[in-house]
Structure 1
Amino acid sequence: MPLDGYFIYHLQKEFETNLKGVRIKKIRQTSKDTFVFTYYKQGEKHLVFELNPNKSHVRISQTLPYGEVTSNLLNALKRHLENAEITNITQYQMDRVLIFNFQKFDQIFGYAHYTVIYETMGRTTNLIILENNIVIEAYYKQFSADKRSILNKSEFIFFPSDKKVFSETDLTELRTIDDPKYFMNTYMGFALDTAKFFVETKLNPLTLPIEPTLILGEKRQFFSFNPNTGQESKTYPTLSALLEAFYTFETPKYMDLEKLIDKEIKRLDLKLNNLFGDLEQNRTFEASKQLADDIYTHATDLQAKVSHFKEIPLDPQKTLNEHAQSLYQKYQKAKKSILPIESQITQTKAYKTYYQDIKDQLSILSSNDLDDIKKELSEVGLIKLKINPKKKPAKPTLLLVKGEDFEIYIGKTSEQNNYLTNTFAQPNDYWFHVQQGPGAHVVLRGAFHEQSLRLSAMLAAYHSPQRKSSSIPVDYTKVRNLKKIKGLPGYNVTYTNQKTIYIDIDETKILSL
């Protein structure tokens, strides 16, 4: 389900409890549409704003995506809000809008007050910074002669709506409503699935207990409450953890890519079948050489024209010498064909393994990771992407997990792994990867001890298709012991001097990072 106003109604309360009074230490833009406000409250935490309309949401996280881009909005946010204190978080009516109020002290001018508006409306998600209700900067700007405009130095106004805000006095009407669409269109903030639940159960939306729930059926959905659908589901300790699980780890957006890759794997299987047939056919020409040798060894008259030799039919219009020379030519041609065919078989097998590895990992990749996969597949010619040749490619985005005296970097696609292991990592960093299977490359930088070792291994196991297994073998060695394998699609390495740790995944611990 989309992020509706009812979900945000509860998310605001979670934010009010956890964010009021915190001071923003650093603001980053880790991708084109991801902004991160870092603060400290029982350790380093991050307020993450995702503005991509396909996954628009805002959450509290302990995991910082690794990446760095810049924009006018980032510069404005840093200038006005770094070292500012969050004084209040509210929701506009029950709409899909959150309002963050800040204050910042200046030695000369005293306190300055700023407001950040997060709003997600259909295909448009926006992040806007205001001072005295005047727009300083915005992620998405628009001008309209007769509708709302968002422009620098313009006065900010909220989206108008003719819907009612649900209150206790509306419970009587709720108990008479049978049509979820009528309820959705009458009251602000209720998506159709949420409206259907309240129309059918007649429960009070304002007093229903919070139980962050992810529905794990064919259609994955998330709710701030437990809808008791009878399908497999999973609950989370906070709404932020639920959003992170849905949008970062358990997104189902990979289905189209999976179908495309399945189709390519079938094509490669057919190609392999044909190549093995060609190889077998060419290998039978060894008999041609043997027959030619027999003709020269046993024939008394090489100029004779016969219809059979050793019960093998021959063209009676040709001499035995002509037959032998023709057979040698067939043998030489077949012999020259075998090496290219074997080379094609090796290459085709490598591509099949490459696509199978990608397919195995699709379900555990985030939307950002899937964008990297699309770019990767465009480079091998499987899909076409519109790429602006003038635009400088951004650095791949890595996941970053911080400990007290160490940092763990995670790459989940070939592009990320190549950058992490081949460019970013230092020779004495430790490298982790699940044994004999596809998975993330994980690099540990800093202190190497029991805690950092086990957490790095657990993250390598979690970001692999083996995450549901137990006692997962994870190899680790220093980065200087890695060697890139050339000539294969994707990013592949060999390594030496490795040790192996067997690890069980504590998913609660992973999701709390």
Structure 2
Amino acid sequence: MTYDAYLIARMAHELAPLLVRARLQKIQQIDVHTLLFSIYHPDSGERALIVSADPAHPRIYLKPRGFQETVGESPSGRLLRFRKWLQGGRIVALASEPGERILTFTIEHKNEFHDLQTRKLIVELMGRHTNAILVDASGIILESLRTVTQEMTRYREIVPSRPYTPPPPQQKMLAHTLTEETWQALGEKPGLAELIREQSDNCAPHDPTIDREAERSTQKDVHAEADLQVAREAYATWIKQHFSGIGTPLAAEIAYRTSLKKDPPFTTLKQTLSAVLQGKEKAQIVQSGDKITFAALELTHLDGDKLTFPTVHEALLYFYEHIAEERLQQNRIRTLAQPVQARLKKLEEKITMFKHMEAERPLIDTYRSYGTALLAYAHAVLSGETEVMLDDPFGDGKTLTIPLDPDLSPVENANLYFKRAQKLSTSLQKAAEQLKAAEQEKAYLESIQAHLAYADAQALEEIKLELAQAGILKKGRLEIRDATKKKRSSAHKDKKYPNIERFRSYRGSLIYVGKNNLQNDYVSLRLGKKGDLWFHVKHHPGAHVLLRTEPGQRPDEKEIAEAATLAVYFSKARNSSQVPVDMTDVKNVYKPNGAPPGFVLYRGEQTLFVTVDEAMIEALLSRRLKGHEQ
């Protein structure tokens, strides 16, 4: 999502009453580029302000009370500095820079000597260059979410102890302060707006009650509609080129409204922008296929599924908590799935090669037969021959045609064949071992693929760490390696365990579901106790499921069916019917030495055949427990 200056100005207008006078109670770090400010306002209570300079997902929005967010386990040096200069402070002002994509929070904070000091948190919402910069009262940079050095840009440095320099000015006019005289002085360019109005005369009148496609199909001249669209696009481009802070959706909407001829072009431009700034327009999210457009006004020029909100900050909350989070999750999954798929492709090539090598195994016996025959009938072989026919010493009257090296004696030729047989035997033995290892690794990676299909954010983070530990994620992923080290040290220090998702059976029994290999190991080997029932889909990667049983109580058929259904639902066989699910007492499950994560063996199983029942799975999902088993 991209911000323009008018959306940011509208956001500042809306957020000021909610944030000014609020105290920064706590500052936490969600990730390396994202801060969470827990704030308390005397009128509206507790909220969370999210500020992120993530190049792939820059954002700023306000979350309501009762918010939940995963934060880092140990504070970074950057976070400690933000806390030192901001935590406990009070927001006294919030403003946007006219025509710029910048929000400035003015914060009063007492230092260790209880002297009141003023800081400014400047949030530059500029796509992949987004940053949050903390400066003191004299404009000296104290800290920032992203450091920018001279090697990265010649225009300005963003490093501590340097004076803050704003982004380069756009050298454009502010459209909402434009006078009609200035508009006319722009010359013939505003004629584009008049061209739109002329082109619209050739098209059928706009009727908002008629479906857009149906409306176009009734127009007299398709070419006139095409010409009108070209004129709109040209006018929208001109608006962006000449006026500061107007983004593509806003410019396109102004051009479209101009073509409706309700008001003169200048009036349409001014009224639309004023309505946005004053909060008279409703914010809107439009989704058409994979494309999502967000704006601080209703986008009447676009077709698609539309969600309308009374305020920009409500629209932002919905966008980031639902649409963007879902897309971000899919991007994370793709990021992890790509190296897994690449490794699987290499493994499949190796497996094919090893299987082709296995086809040469009969040659071992052939070479040994040649060598034995040459030794047995050495007296019958003449020197210098390139081929000889001898009786097979292991066959019933079978004759062997044996190629010879004419420069070698019969005994030397025999030894050559014995060496070939031994070399091939050794090679095939190693190939068989490598084939077994490759097939095991393939099964392991296929299990990760299956888990990625239904992983939530927590499970995905654990899969990422698992892949890093397995060496699948290596080069260019320092943050993953660092996270892995932290995870290992944290595991030794705090003895934390994977978060396991829990469900209730219809009778109230606990059902645990592992959503990745680390969780599966914990469910199968650590969490269960004697008498608990363990489930897993046969011959398919998927979740290990544990049905908790109380002493003296045996699960009934429906509870067993529910646990087996969850095993199928969280597996690669989700959409199949009559899926075999193995069930056994958890005490019968064990892990072989050296086995990869998620790989177990079991005995004493009973096989059930399960087809996912939609009503049953919906009931189970509705009984999903909040929080996780630690």
TM-score over 0.5 for the alignment? yes
Q: CA deviation at 1:57?
A: 1.6
Offset of residue 395 of structure 1: 2.7
Match of 2:239 among 152, 169, 183: 183
Whichever residue aligns with residue 134 of structure 1, its letter is G
Match of 2:285 among 195, 212, 225: 212
- Distance of 1:197 and 1:506 partners within structure 2: 42
Matched, 1:380 2:493: no
Contact 2:466 2:518 in 1 (8 A): no
1:395 aligns with 2:486: yes
- Cα 1:149–1:319, aligned 2, differ >3 Å: closer, same or farther? closer
Q: Establish whether residue 127 from structure 1 lines up as the match of residue 132 from structure 2.
A: yes
Q: What secondary structure sits across from 2:70 in the alignment?
A: strand
Contact 1:25 1:38 in 2 (8 A): yes
5+ unaligned residues in a row in structure 2: which ranges?
Answer: 184-189, 195-231, 259-267, 382-388, 489-496, 502-514, 546-562, 604-609, 626-630
Give, as a single letter, the amino acid of the residue that structure 1 aligns with 2:80: N
2:85 counterpart of 1:84: no
Q: 1:106 to 1:262 in 2, by over 3 A?
A: closer
Offset, 1:119: 0.9
Q: CA deviation at 1:384?
A: 3.2
CA distance in 1, matches of 2:498, 2:253: 42
Q: How far apart are 1:22 and its partner, in Å?
A: 4.3
Is the alpha carbon distance of 1:103 and 1:422 closer, same or farther for their aligned partners in structure 2, counting shifts above 3 Å? farther
Which amino acid is the alignment partner of residue 78 of structure 1? R
SS in 1 for 2:359: helix
Output the CA distance in 2 between the equivalents of 1:358 and 1:420: 12
Query: Which amino acid in 2 is paired with 1:129?
Result: L
SS in 2 for 1:55: coil
Aligned to 2:346: 267
CA distance in 1: counterparts of 2:571 and 2:21, whole angstroms = 41
Letter in structure 1 aligned against 2:243: Y
Equivalent residue runs for 1:12-23 within 5 Å? 12=12, 15-16=15-16, 19=19, 22-23=22-23
Structure 2 counterpart SS, 1:183 = helix
Task: Write the letter of the residue equivalent to 1:195.
Answer: A
- Compared CA separation, residues 97 and 362, structure 1 to 2 (3 A): farther
1:223 aligns to what?
A: 294
Deviations, residues 433-478 of structure 1 (Å, cap 9, x unaligned):
9966778999xxxxxxxxxxxxxx9xx99x989899899xx99xxx
Distance 1:116 1:130, change over 3 A: same
Alignment of 1:111-122 (within 5 A): 113-121=118-126
Structure 1, unaligned runs of 5 or more: 398-406, 443-456
Instruction: Determine whether 1:93 maps to 2:98.
Output: yes
Indicate if the aligned counterparts of 1:7 and 1:223 stay in contact, CA closer than 8 A: no
For 1:76-123, what per-residue CA distance to the aligned partner results, in whole angstroms no more than 9, with x for missing partners? 421243233445543222422122244457999586554322113354
Distance 1:192 1:83, change over 3 A: same
Figure out how many residues of one structure are paired with residues of the other and give that number. 465
Deviations 1:253-280 (A, max 9, x none): 5668766654543333222111111113
**Structure 2 counterpart SS, 1:167:** helix
Of 348, 352, 358, which aligns to 2:438? 348
Q: Distance in 1 between matches of 2:45 and 2:363?
A: 70
Structure 2: which amino acid aligns with 1:274? Answer: M
| Alpha-carbon distance in 1 for matches of 2:32, 2:170 | 30
Q: Give the whole-Å Cα distance in 2 for the aligned partners of 1:284 and 1:210.
A: 75
1:240 to 303, 306, 317: 317
Amino acid in the other structure paired with 1:53: P
- Tell me which structure has the larger Cα radius of gyration: 2
The CA deviation at 1:33 is: 1.9
Structure 1 or 2: more helix by fraction: 2
Q: Deviations over 1:259-308 (max 9, x none)?
A: 66545433332221111111132156457779999x89xxx989766545
- 1:404-444 CA-to-partner distances (Å, cap 9, x unmatched) read xxx99589xxxx98999999xxx7799xx9966778999xx
SS of structure 2 residue aligned to 1:46: strand
Maintained 8 Å contact 2:99/2:174: yes
State the distance in 1 between where 2:348 and 2:601 align. Answer: 30
Matched with 1:281 is 360
Distance 2:142 2:588 in 1: 48
Q: Which residue of 1 aligns with 2:70?
A: 65
2:2 is paired with a residue whose SS is coil
2:400 paired residue number: 313
Relative to structure 1, is the Cα distance of residues 189 and 354 closer, same or farther in structure 2, using a 3 angstrom cutoff? farther
Structure 1 counterpart of 2:25, one-letter code: K
Task: Indicate the structure with greater strand content.
Answer: 1
Change (3 A) 1:314 1:419: closer
Select 1:196's aligned residue among 213, 236, 252.
Answer: 252
State the alpha-carbon separation in 2 of the partners of residues 470 and 100 from structure 1. Answer: 55
CA distance 1:291–1:486, shift in 2 (3 Å): same
Q: Say if 1:22 and 1:40, in contact at 8 Å, map to a contact too.
A: yes
- Determine the C-alpha separation between the residues in 2 that align with 1:68 and 1:354: 29
Other structure's SS at 2:61 match: strand
Measured in 2, the distance between the counterparts of 1:334 and 1:146 equals: 64
* Contact 1:88–1:102 (Cα < 8 Å) also in 2: yes
Alpha-carbon separation, structure 2, partners of 1:469 and 1:381: 29
Change (3 A) 1:107 1:27: closer
1:356 shift after superposition: 4.8
Q: What is residue 137 of structure 1 aligned with on the other side?
A: 142
Partner in structure 2 of residue 24 of structure 1: 24
Contact preservation (8 Å) 1:303, 1:319: no
What's the CA shift string for 1:310-331, capped at 9, x where partnerless?
Answer: 3443339899999998877666
Whole-angstrom CA distance in 1 between matches of 2:377 and 2:114 = 115
Tell me how far apart the structure 2 counterparts of residues 292 and 470 of structure 1 sit (CA, whole Å): 55
Q: Distance in 1 between matches of 2:5 and 2:289?
A: 22
- SS of match in other structure, 1:64: coil
Amino acid at match of 1:243: Y
